[in-house]
Amino acid sequence: MTNESGKWADPNYSSVDQSDRTVPVNLRQTGRPDIKLLISTRARKSPYWHLAVEAGCWRGEVYNRMYLPRGYGSDEGGGSGAEYEALTQRVTLWDIAAARQIRVQGPEATEFVDYVVTRDVTRLASMRAAYTVLCDAGGRMINDPLLLKISPEEYWFSISDSDLSLWLKGVNVGKGFDVQIQEMDVSPVQIQGAQANSLMADLIGDMAAEMPVFGLAETEIAGLPVLVSRTGFSGEAGYEVYLKNSSIHAEQMWDAILRAGDKYGLTVTGPIQPHRVTSGILAWGQDVDSEMVPFQVGLASHIPRNKASDYIGRAALEKMRDEIAAGNHPYRLTMVGLKVEGEPLVDYLSDFWLVAPAPDAEPVGYLTSASYAPKIRSNVALARLPVDLAVPGTQVYVFKPSGDSAGTGIPAVVSEFPIE
C-alpha cells in the first residue's frame, strides 16, 4: 500500500503535519470496524434503547458512555437513503438520551455558568436555549453543549461527548460558587423533519408554533411533564423533548409520539449524517475535539469581545484573535467543507481519509466526516486543511487509507456552508 512518493508506506501517516496538536495522534485508525465489541454495564443504555431496537435499530455507538442508535432499516428498505427521505419529506424521531443533562442550580448559577462558557449568559433570557462553547485556560475546547436557561438560578447543559460534569465540578472546587452540579433523570428525544411543526402542534398545541427558534416551554405530552426546545441537529425544522423522570415514563411518552406521528409517516431514525455534514453542523469527537480552538472550526461568533465578565480561556482566545487579525494564524489546520467526486459513500468513515493539494503531493490534512448527500447528488465532507487551502473553489485530492483504490487521489473542491 504505497505509491512512488512513498506517502502510504508509513502506517502511522507520520508525514501528516500535526504541529498544531497538543497530543500527536495516530490518524490511521486501522483494523476492521465490524468486529463484535464487548459492551457491558460500563456503557449505559438509555430508557428508550429497547424501544429503538423494537423500531428497527440494528447498530449503535457509544456516546457519553451511553448507547446511541446510529442505524435503522435494512439495505433492502433503502437504508440511510430512506432515513434521509423520512427527514426531508416527513418527520423523524431520534433517541438522543446520550446527550446527558447536567443541571447547575443555586443562587450563583448565572455567575458560575457565565464563568465557564464564552458567551454572555447574563444577556440570555430565561426559558431560552443557546449553543455554547467551553474552553480550557489555553483556549482549547472542552465541550460545545446546548445550554438551557430555565431561570437565573437553574441551567441545564445538554452535553456533547465528554465528561462535562467532571470539568464543571473540578472548576468549582477552586472557585466555590454557591451551586449544585448534578446529572438529572431527564432524557431527550428529537422530533425533526419537514412535518415536525405539525406533529408538535398535535402533541403540545399552539405553543409549538408560538415558540421562537431556541425557545423553551414547560408542558406535557401524554400527561407527562416535559421541557421542549425548538432546536435540533438536523438542518430541518425540529424540536427536542426532555422527558422528566424518564427512567419511569419513557415507554408512555415514546408510544404517544409514535401514535401522534402515524398520520405524518413518522419514522424512528438516528442522527442523519448527510444533512448534518451538508449544513456544516459539527459533531464532537469527529469534527471538533479538545485539541481544537473555536477559531479553527468557524465558531468566532461565539467568542464575543465585549463580554463584561471574565471566563476560562478568555486571555488566550483574545490573543489568538489579535494574531489572526494580523495574519498570523496560531494554528495550521482549519475546518472546511468539501464536495468529493467518486462513487456514493454508503456508510460512515471507519478511518480518517487523508487530503493532499495534488495527486502526487504529500498529505496535509484529513477528512473528519463524510457522506453522500442525495439533495445535491454528491459526496460531501468536513475536513481539516491548512489555512492557505481553506478557500472555496480550491482543488484538493482525497485518499482512501486502504482498499483497491488506496493511494489514488479522488478530486474534491473546497466549499462554503451549506455545501451546494
Greatest mean pLDDT among 13-17, 33-37, 180-184, 323-327 lies in: 180-184
Q: Which whole number is the average pLDDT over 150-170?
A: 96
Site of grid cell 460534569: 165
Q: How many CB atoms lie within 10 A of CB 287?
A: 20
Q: Which whole number is the average pLDDT over 232-244?
A: 92
Q: Which whole number is the average pLDDT over 274-294?
A: 89
Asked whether residue 317 carries a pLDDT value surpassing 70, the answer given is yes
Asked whether residue 36 carries a pLDDT value surpassing 90, the answer given is no
H or E segment to which residue 314 belongs: helix 314-325
Asked whether residue 28 carries a pLDDT value surpassing 70, the answer given is no
Asked whether residue 8 carries a pLDDT value surpassing 50, the answer given is no
Contact status, residue 181 vs residue 165, Cβ threshold 8 Å: yes
Asked whether residue 80 carries a pLDDT value surpassing 90, the answer given is no
Cis peptide before 386 (omega within 30 of 0): no
Q: Which whole number is the average pLDDT over 231-235?
A: 88
Separation CA 87–CA 196 (nearest Å):
9
Q: Tell me the sheet residues that pair with 147.
A: 130, 157
Asked whether residue 11 carries a pLDDT value surpassing 50, the answer given is no
Q: How many CB atoms lie within 10 A of CB 93?
A: 25
Q: How many CB atoms lie within 10 A of CB 96?
A: 24
pLDDT band (50, 70, 90) for residue 24: very low
pLDDT digits (tens, 9 = 90+) for 107-149: 999 999 999 999 999 999 999 999 999 999 999 999 999 999 9
pLDDT digits (tens, 9 = 90+) for 321-340: 999 999 998 888 999 999 99
DSSP category for residue 193: S
Q: Enter the pTM of the model.
A: 0.91
Separation CA 47–CA 168 (nearest Å):
25
Which of helix, strand or coil describes residue 366?
strand
Per-residue confidence (pLDDT) for residue 352, from 0 to 100: 81
Separation CA 8–CA 12 (nearest Å):
9
Q: Which whole number is the average pLDDT over 224-229?
A: 98
Given the DSSP bridges, would you call strands 354-356 and 395-399 parallel, antiparallel or unpaired? antiparallel
Report the range of poorest mean pLDDT among 217-231, 238-252, 392-406.
392-406
Site of grid cell 469581545: 305
Q: Which residue has the higher pLDDT, 16 or 198?
A: 198
Which of helix, strand or coil describes residue 19?
coil
Q: Which residue has the higher pLDDT, 255 or 417?
A: 255
Asked whether residue 215 carries a pLDDT value surpassing 70, the answer given is yes
pLDDT band (50, 70, 90) for residue 234: confident
Greatest mean pLDDT among 364-368, 388-392, 414-418 lies in: 388-392
Q: DSSP H helical segments within 9-90, as ranges? A: 49-54, 79-89
